[in-house]
Amino acid sequence: MSDCIFCKIASKEIPSSVVYEDDATIAFDDLNPQAPVHVLVIPKQHIAGLSDAGEEDTELLGRLCRTCDKVAELKGIMDGYRVVANKGEQAGQSVFHLHFHVLGGRRMTWPPG
């Protein structure tokens, strides 16, 4: 999608602080961090949200989860981190490109919000 900010980050049209990248995913520091470590993990392919992923995206969804774990390792938060995916405006999704928030570096509370 030509107007999607995350697509532009994935294609390097917009610079970002890249934490990790492979052929299908890219992870970068969030510009508005909600924890000492706050990284966004996205697929390079545009998918608007979790419910927009199809059966053909099953492997990619697994890759995104593995990327979240790799990010936690690279950022030194393997002792505890949270992964959040918001689906829809009601849940707080503001960029409609599937993304996971990897949060850590402090004790997380429950319920989350």
What CA–CA distance (Å, rounded) separates 98 from 43? 7
Domain 5-104: CATH architecture, name and number where available: 2-Layer Sandwich (3.30)
- Give catalytic status of residue 38 as yes or no: no
Q: How do the pLDDT tens digits run along the chain, 113 residues long?
A: 579 999 999 999 999 999 999 999 999 999 999 999 999 999 999 999 999 999 999 999 999 999 999 999 999 999 999 999 999 999 999 999 999 999 999 999 998 86
Task: Look up the pTM and report it.
Answer: 0.95
End-to-end CA distance of the chain: 30
Domain boundaries in the chain? 5-104
- Smallest Cα–Cα separation from 100: which of 31, 36, 25, 32? 25
Largest CA distance in the chain: 38
Choosing from 38, 97, 99, 101, which is the catalytic residue? 99
Residue 33 amino acid letter:
P
